[in-house]
Amino acid sequence: MSKSLSGIYLPVFGGIALVCGVAIAVANRGYGNSQIETLQTRLAQVEAQKASALTEAEESAARLAELETRLSELESKAANAVVGGEPVAAHEGSFGLGRPALPEEIAAWNVDVLPDGRGLPEGSGDVFTGEEVFAEKCAACHGDFAEGVDNWPVLAGGFGTLANEDPVKTVGSYWPYLTTVWDYVHRSMPFGEAGTLSADETYAIVAYILYSNDLVDDEFELNQDNLATFEMPNRDGFVIDDRPQREYAEWRTEPCMENCKDSVEITRRATFLDVTPDDGEDSAMAAGDDAETPTFTAASAATEAPSDQVAAEPAAAEVDPDLVAAGKNVFKKCSACHQVGDGAKNRTGPHLNGLFGRTFGSVEGFGYSSVFKAANDEGRVWDEAELDAFLAKPKAYMKGTKMSFAGLKKEEDRAALNAYLATFGE
């Protein structure tokens, strides 16, 4: 803004200089004396004018400074209004638009439930009824025991895992208010048939979810009176946004511009995971490779010397940690139904410890489909080739399998999963 104002005032000074210059040039060209006198008189007049103009200019400059101060004040004040346009003016009274909402209309839509229970309708439901309703309306996605199928939410368990590397956030382990569960189930579930559950059905489903979390016994009945006071295990597990105290104070500082670190190495690379969807045939995205990457140092921006610290080279014929890490990630698709590692149990699918070398359909206590029972009779044994073929097209390779998983289209994913599963012994 100061630039444009100076632009307005500058021609005033420029104009005076030009008038003076013309007068002097004309005086030196040998005109008659009278003309010279006239010119000298005029020159004196012009100089007087110049002096008064300079005074005016000084005053103008002072006025300018004052104006600029006021402008910068106005500018900062009006910044929002100027950039975003002028705001809608305050309006006295009503526009008289819209119509009154009728009581039955409000009743139809105003169904949210607050943590203190306001909004809960009369009704009740017990665990026994809940189990039946849940099996019919919820289990297809959430599993018979609320354990979650495929990527669908797990509703039960996960207690004590919130501080773990892989926390399991369920209704039991995470949700702070039971009113939220009732409200969400009632309004938004079942997926694809929202809003069809009666109040009693909802109370029953919520009672069953509590039961599947071991929070109530099988005699329990939930109703409008005991729901809001039901204390959820993680009720006090939340703090209101404390970024201003914990982060902003620290991160509102002038940042470093030079020599901010001594050296920089690459510590993790996305291409090793290969979980990015294809970008089409002409993909410009880098393929995962184990090419050496440079270390950057403060002395010279980039040195060609490869770093030893950079993503460890896979050792030939040994366990490739990057492949295993990638496999761990792929396994997320399987973990809703299969467990591995210490204490792995059969879930929707059998546990996968010691998979390679084990006979098909041989995990004790797991109810296999007939196709796996037949493979067991034949004495087929799991190896990497079998798993690769199975996972490429599960339903085609083992016709009749209960496993609903569509399979892993990418060979790299299957190889990674193979490498990951190979790390789990009996």
- Asked if 268 touches another protein (CB under 8 A), the answer is yes
Contacts of 127 (CB under 8 A, 6+ apart): 204, 207, 208, 210, 211, 216, 217, 218, 219, 220, 221
Instruction: Work out whether 415 is an interface residue with another protein (CB under 8 A).
Output: no
β-strand partners of 126 = 221
Which residue of 216, 273, 363, 419 would you call a contact of another protein, by CB under 8 A?
273
Q: Given the complex with another protein, which of 61 and 298 has the nearer CB atom?
A: 298
CA angle at residue 177 from 174 to 179, to 5 degrees?
A: 135
Q: Helices 33-84 and 2-27 meet at what angle, rounded to 10?
A: 170
CB of 236 to another protein, least distance (A): 9
Least Cβ distance, residue 390 to another protein (angstroms)? 18
Which among 10, 2, 134 is positioned nearest to 65, based on CA atoms? 2
Q: Decide: is 175 part of the binding site for another protein (CB under 8 A).
A: yes
Please give the helix or strand (H or E) that residue 222 lies within, else none.
strand 221-223
369 near another protein (CB under 8 A): no
User: Which residues, 294 to 313, sit near another protein by CB under 8 A?
Assistant: 294, 296-298, 301-302, 309
Q: Which of residues 82-111 bind another protein (CB under 8 A)?
A: 83-85, 87-89, 91, 94-95, 97-101, 105-106, 109-110
For the segment 311-330, give every residue that binds another protein (CB under 8 A).
329
Transcribe 359-417 into DSSP letters.
Answer: BTT--TT----HHHHHHHHHT-B--HHHHHHHHHSHHHHTTT-S--------HHHHHHH
Q: What is the token pair recorded at 262?
A: 């001594």
User: Residue 423, interface with another protein (CB under 8 A)?
Assistant: no
CA dist 232 to 112, 155, 166, 238, 254, Å? 19, 14, 21, 12, 44
Binding status of residue 405 toward another protein by CB under 8 A: no
What minimum distance in Å lies between the beta carbon of 109 and another protein?
5
The nearer residue to another protein, 220 or 272, going by C-beta atoms, is 272
171 near another protein (CB under 8 A): yes
Question: If binding is defined by CB under 8 A, does position 146 make contact with another protein?
Answer: no
25 contacts another protein (rule: CB under 8 A): no
Residue type, 213: N
What is d(CA 145, CA 123) in angstroms, rounded to the nearest whole number?
A: 24
**335 near another protein, rule: CB under 8 A:** no
Q: Residue 353: which of 338, 336, 340, 366 has the closest Cα? A: 340
Q: How far apart are CA 24 and CA 10, in angstroms?
A: 22
| Near another protein in 197-256, by CB under 8 A | 237-243, 246-248, 251-253, 255-256
Exactly one of 52, 69, 151, 423 binds another protein (CB under 8 A); which one? Answer: 151
- Residues 206 and 130 sit within 8 Å (Cβ to Cβ): yes
123-142 binders of another protein (CB under 8 A): 141
CB of 251 to another protein, least distance (A): 5
One residue of 30, 32, 192, 367 binding another protein per CB under 8 A = 192
Instruction: Compute the least distance from the CB of residue 292 to another protein, in Å.
Output: 10
Q: How far is the CB of 191 from another protein (least distance, A)?
A: 7
Q: Which of 126, 147, 183, 320 binds another protein (CB under 8 A)?
A: 183
Q: Do 241 and 169 contact (CB within 8 A), yes or no?
A: no
Number of residues lying near another protein (CB under 8 A): 100
Kindly state the smallest distance separating residue 391's Cβ from another protein, in Å.
14
